[in-house]
Structure 1
Amino acid sequence: MTNQQEAVRTGTGVVPLMIALLAACLAFQLNASMLSPALVTMERELHATATEIASTQTVFFTAAALFTLFLPRLGDLIGRRRVLVGMLLVMAVGCVVAALATNVPMLFIGRLIQGVSGPVVPLCLIMLRAAVKDPKAYGTLLGVVTAVNGGIAGGDALLGGYLATNHGFASIFWTMAGVAIAAALVVRLLAPETMADDRPRMDWWGALLLVVSVGSMLVAVNELGKLAEADVLLVVVLAAVAVASFLAFWKLEGAISDPLVSTTQLKQRSTWALAATSLLTLGGIFAIMNGVVPALAQDTSLGLEMSAEEVSLWILMPYALAGLLMGPLSGRLAATVGYRTMLRVGLGGTIAVLALMVVNVETSSRLVLLLLSIAAGITYAGIGNIMLNGLGVVLSPKERPGSLPGLNTGAINLGAGLSFVLIYAAQTSFTAEAGSPASGYVAALITGAVVLVGALVFSLFIPKPVNAELRS
């Protein structure tokens, strides 16, 4: 055991480790959220359409989802710190490519390279789990790390808006690159190296088949998100490729001695129940808080008629801040009350919040919407999201700690994409049928609540993470 590992084990090195992990999470979060207010600026400076710029965002999140499927497992085998540092440096390269972009294809390539950073958070949580054995301490620190990943209380978006307005979109990518390089140095200097006890060869063929399967499904879901304009034939072909690739993956994993994910693990409730819960949770809430509620607040046919800036102030920032503050507390409670119990509290609370939003669709009170946004931030961002990420780590088998977080994060990303398909399909259908925007918003909110009820049902099958909770 190195001096650095011993320091973490005895508690004296937890602070440096947390500094390293939070630096890495901050670097990733900027990639995910800092560009949101700069999209229009990017359209103007690159002489591109909104659709073209949106495609560069899609490729980042898709790439992030795919790299998450196998890089945490690679970290088990060759060193988690080594993989995390490598990811951050590659992300910095992607930022530089994007900063130098003079056209959309070059920006597209830059964002694709940045997607390598996708597994930062699950890898950080695995590193934290390897270093911190006390359930209460781990739960609290888990909440801190995951809450930071949920957003820096809107400050990241504000900084992105300022840089884009005053220095152009390239300044955002240069800032991201600088933060990524600094984070890589901090991780290299402050975090101890950890690996799995058993380190066979990496199952690259299994990783490839899983990436093809999930990638095809993600692209199919993104295409379905175009609703009436979707290419149905493309969706069918992609779905067929996804199914065929997964069947080949299943057969391979059952035939080799050191699989990426064993078929035995895939059949366990800790895998399928958690993945289904994660997929349905994101499917029910992601598009609501990132699309429907901001649109409702700005709809001139309803009572609020907010501007985009007011939406950030009254909805998005309070939502993110509530999650940031609640995260450490919910993580601490998970060790005593139970991860599953806290997850169900979060899901039940989020369903209740959506029900209250249905009742208040036509409200003209900004205070009501503010309180509902804070409530959603507490129940989902501060509890539900923290528990989903935490369960992916604490339920992982000891022999391959990186496998379940990868699969679970893949389900989370797939659910986020599916959310826009389901929620907007319901909104569009009922708006056209009833001829009333309010009816569309009500349908979207009810659909989200119903999907979350499904998540709550699947959560009943998730097993208890015995080693991560204090015995009562």
Structure 2
Amino acid sequence: MTTLTEAKSTRGNVTALMVALLAACVAFQLNASMLSPALVTMGNELNTDQATIGLSQTWFFTAAALFSLFLPRLSDIVGRKKILVGMMLLMAVGSVIAAMAPDVTWLFVGRIIQGVSGPTVPLCLIMLRSAVSNPRKYGTLMGLITAVNGGVAGVDSFVGGYFAENFGFRSIFWLMVALALVATVLIAVLAGESKPAAGTTMDWLGVFFIVIAVGALLTALNEGAKLATAFDAGTLTLSIALTLVAAVAFFAFWTVEKRAKQPMVETVHLRQRSTWAPLLTTTLTMTGIFAVINGIVPAYVQAADPGFGVGPTEMSLIILTPYALLGWLFGPISGRLAPVLGYTKVLRIGLLGSLVALAIIAFLGLNSLPMMIVGTALLGIMYAGTVNIMLNGLGVVLSPQGNPGFLPGMNAGAFNLGAGLSFLVLPAVLVATASLNDDKASYLTVVVVGLAITLAAFAASLLIPKPVDAEVTETEKVTA
């Protein structure tokens, strides 16, 4: 029998809750992004190559995606605060293991354990949703929390680089330990407990099959990405085999969910537009944009030919930092507008703006560094500060009332799936067009392909239903 233990909070309680949730989100985001500029240092100190070190990031994000599938649902049953505290503690444990790692194997172990914190942002949004009933207020606070997920105002990479250069890569993990412990204490002290599905039995068989399905698919994408640089029959065979495993596991998941008395998710929900349309939009959006801003553009700007020969530090200052900072600043604004203008309308405005930004990058930015800066800055506003916020928000407000942790978890998986697809598809296009003997034309083709996929995401967004309960009514607009 399901019991409700949620209660709306007072202003003081919401402020305290926001402090705790922001601490958790900052800890997770720094955990995810601070290592990027330290990968070379990590390889040198652990006496291994960059490809192997890069796998530590791959395993972290894969683990994060898998735990995101079911921990939000489990939190509905055993308690959201309890699960979030557990996630932060395991993040700290993983950080300690990684900081003390004698070799790369133990680094992998630490990063995988850290991956338990994967659903931090969706779980924080669920907790906020249960505490704040006012749509305007929730939208603003949602935007603030989600904006952190796009980067902590661009300083995360600089902090990671500084610590790695001056104190070694292990210092970054010790900083993560401190941040995770601070977040743990704040959540334990300031956050209230809520478990709307208390008494429900967790569908562990369904969890097993969906984790196998998504895990196999993500691993297939990671293996397939290797084919972009060099063809290998064994790698191709493994990718195909893993894809088949994913298909079989998903079929088994569907079968189990249809027969389970208390399923992880009712199959009727999977058929609804409120489920598959936002998941499709998230996947396509990430596929079209993620590798462009996190891989293609930085590589082009740093290339002496055909790019601009900009160094990595300067590139971060003029490209990545403005992108992250603008996303962080505009997140609360788009969150505030969402319940007034409509979540889907703000999402589509953001997607259209992202299309314009990609067009500027493709047709003007490849020839002009100032226009490249303009294009990526606009992408920071429209994608990081608008689209990313709305997709995360829709995952919460469109989730079924009886299963509020379901869609945010699946949506987190869609984010990771789209990111993996992006780094598979777009670099593959770059390699495939190398025969043109015109590097600039290859980069142009890649960004245009990203633009086309983002256009498909816009088309998919037209199918997402309005989350009426999370938006301000016409009467409320007039009286506001």
451, 454, 467: which one pairs with 1:452?
454
8 A Cα contact 1:331 1:387, kept in partner: yes
Q: For residue 302 of structure 1, what is the aligned residue in structure 2?
A: 306
In the alignment, the residues of structure 2 paired with residue 109 and residue 197 of structure 1 have an alpha-carbon distance, to the nearest angstrom, of: 32
Distance 1:434 1:256 in 2: 54
Q: Which residue of 2 aligns with 1:34?
A: 34
1:100 counterpart letter in structure 2:
M
Query: Is the CA contact 1:209–1:245 (under 8 Å) kept in the aligned structure 2?
Result: yes
Q: Is the 8 A contact 2:121 2:146 kept in 1?
A: yes
In 1, the alpha carbon distance for the partners of 2:207 and 2:366 equals 48
Judge conservation of contact 1:340–1:459 (CA < 8 Å) in 2: yes
Q: Is 1:387 aligned to residue 390 of structure 2?
A: yes
Cα distance in 1 for residues equivalent to 2:77 and 2:197: 9
Contact 1:304–1:363 (Cα < 8 Å) also in 2: no
**Partner in structure 1 of residue 432 of structure 2:** 429
Is the contact between residue 198 and residue 399 of structure 1 (CA under 8 Å) also seen in structure 2?
no
1:428 offset after TM fit, Å?
Answer: 1.4
Contact 2:20–2:183 under 8 Å retained in 1: yes
2:242 and 2:218 map into 1 onto residues whose CA distance is: 9
Q: How many Å separate the matches in 1 of 2:105 and 2:377?
A: 39
**Counterpart check, 1:69 vs 2:69:** yes
Asked if structure 2 preserves the Cα contact closer than 8 Å seen for 1:320 and 1:377, the reply is yes
Amino acid at match of 2:253: F
Question: Secondary structure in 2 aligned to 1:102?
Answer: coil
C-alpha displacement at 1:304, in angstroms? 1.9
Question: Is 1:346 aligned to residue 385 of structure 2?
Answer: no
In the TM superposition, 1:165-244 aligns within 5 A as 165-197=165-197, 199-227=199-227, 228-229=230-231, 231-244=235-248
Candidates 398, 411, 415, aligned match of 2:414: 411
CA distance in 2, matches of 1:242, 1:168: 39
Cα distance in 2 between the residues matched to 1:437 and 1:455 = 27
Alignment of 1:254 with 2:258, yes or no, is yes
Q: Distance in 2 between matches of 1:185 and 1:310?
A: 37
Which residue of structure 1 aligns with residue 99 of structure 2?
A: 99
Q: Report the residue type matching 2:98 in the other structure.
A: A
The amino acid of 2:380's aligned partner reads: G
Instruction: State yes or no: 1:443 paired with 2:441.
Output: no
Q: Percent identity among equivalent residues?
A: 51
CA contact (8 A) 1:361 1:442 kept: no
Cα distance in 2 for partners of 1:5, 1:408 equals 23
Distance in 1 (CA, whole Å) between partners of 2:296 and 2:141 is 32
Amino acid at match of 2:372: L
| Residue in 2 that maps onto 1:134 | 134
The superposition leaves residues 181-231 of structure 1 with CA deviations (integer Å, 9 ceiling, x where unpaired) of 110110010001011156410011101100000000000011111123451
CA–CA distance in structure 1, aligned partners of residues 286 and 106 of structure 2: 31
Q: Per the alignment, in what secondary structure is the counterpart of residue 382 of structure 2?
A: helix
Letter in 2 for 1:83: I
175-184 or 298-307: bigger deviation: 298-307
Taking the aligned partners of 1:301 and 1:58, their CA distance within structure 2 comes to: 29
Per-residue CA deviations over 1:274-299 (Å, capped at 9, x if unaligned) read 11000000000000000000011111
- Whichever residue aligns with residue 74 of structure 1, its letter is L
Tell me the secondary structure at the aligned position of residue 193 of structure 1: coil
Corresponding residue for 1:316?
Answer: 320
Q: Matched residue of 1:70: which SS?
A: helix
Q: Which amino acid aligns with 1:248?
A: A
Q: Which residue pairs with 2:377 in the alignment?
A: 374
- Partner of residue 120, structure 1: 120
Alpha-carbon distance in 2 for matches of 1:254, 1:285: 35
- SS of the aligned residue for 1:200 comes to coil
2:333 is equivalent to residue 336 of structure 1: no
Amino acid paired to 1:419? S
Q: Residue in 2 aligned with 1:398?
A: 401
**What is the SS of the residue equivalent to 2:133?**
coil
**Conserved? CA contact 1:225–1:420, under 8 Å:** yes
Residues 78 and 198 of structure 2 are in contact (CA less than 8 Å); yes or no, is this contact kept in structure 1? no
Note the aligned Cα RMSD (angstroms): 1.2
The answer as to whether partners of 1:76 and 1:199 remain within 8 angstroms in 2 is: no
1:257 deviates by: 1.6
Distance across 1 between alignment mates of 2:171 and 2:16 = 29
Candidates 265, 270, 274, aligned match of 1:266: 270
The CA deviation string for residues 305-340 of structure 1, in whole angstroms up to 9 with x for no partner, is 111011100000000001000000000100000010
Q: Which residue in the other structure is 1:146 paired with?
A: 146
- The residue that corresponds to 2:279 in the other structure is 275
- How many angstroms apart in 2 are the aligned matches of 1:32 and 1:376? 21
Match of 2:423 among 414, 420, 424: 420
| Cα distance in 1 between the residues matched to 2:278 and 2:261 | 25
Shift of the alpha carbon at 1:425?
Answer: 1.2
For residues 272 and 5 of structure 1, the distance between their equivalents in structure 2, rounded to whole angstroms, comes to: 27
How far apart, in 1, do the equivalents of 2:301 and 2:266 lie?
A: 47
The residue type paired with residue 159 of structure 2 is L
Work out whether residues 56 and 107 of structure 2, in 8 Å CA contact, stay in contact via their aligned partners in 1. Answer: yes
Question: How far does the alpha carbon of each residue in 1:336-359 deviate from its partner, in whole angstroms, 9 at most, with x for none?
Answer: 000101111111111111111111
Structure 1 residues 408-441: Cα deviation after superposition (integer angstroms, max 9, x where no partner): 11011000000011111111111x2210110111
Runs of at least 4 residues off by over 4 Å: none
In structure 2, the residue matched to 1:463 is 465
> Which letter does structure 1 place at the counterpart of 2:324?
A
Rounded to whole Å, the distance in 2 between the matches of 1:177 and 1:372 is: 36
**Distance of 1:5 and 1:449 partners within structure 2:** 42
Please give the alpha-carbon distance, in whole angstroms, between the structure 1 residues aligned to 2:435 and 2:133.
55
User: What's the CA shift for 1:373?
Assistant: 1.4
SS in 1 for 2:316: helix
Structure 1 position 363 matched with structure 2 position 367: yes
Preserved contact between residue 361 and residue 441 of structure 1 (Cα < 8 Å): no
Other-structure match for 2:478: none
